[in-house]
Amino acid sequence: MIAAAGPSPFVAFGADLPMMAACTVMVLATALIVVRAIKGPTAYDRIMGMNSAGTCAVIIVALIGFATRRPDFLDLALTYAILNFLATIAILKFVKYKRLG
């Protein structure tokens, strides 16, 4: 048997290959969603596209927290998810009624 001389070449910043692949896929998905949100034919398509991009950002923050073994990143991700949801509802209400109150 051949023993490894050091850390695995697939480990970067405490993350393994599947974690890096998941982050890469999420970043690519976010980029595609942002392109679709900019290109969207209606305001509702744009708003929902940006909501989806925010959701992908929440997943990326949670993955980074898991990869670096910092559980406080999950609190940040949950806080951002709540703000993303509330902002989407407020913007949709503003677009529909032209006022927030």
Model pLDDT, residue 96: 85
For residue 57, list its beta bridge partners: none
Burial class of residue 97 in the structure, from the number of CB atoms within 10 Å of its CB (0-12 exposed, 13-18 middle, 19+ buried):
exposed
DSSP letter at 87 equals H
Model pLDDT, residue 12: 52
Model pLDDT, residue 19: 83
For residues 27 and 60, the answer to whether their CB atoms sit within 8 Å is yes
Q: pLDDT grade, residue 28 (50/70/90)? A: very high
Residue 94 tokens read as 């503003």
Q: pLDDT grade, residue 18 (50/70/90)? A: confident
Model pLDDT, residue 4: 54
- Whether pLDDT at 6 is above 60: no
Domain ranges in the chain?
17-97
Model pLDDT, residue 15: 53
State pLDDT tens for residues 29-85: 999 999 988 888 888 889 999 999 999 999 999 988 888 888 899 999 999 999 999
Residue 4 tokens read as 């490894």
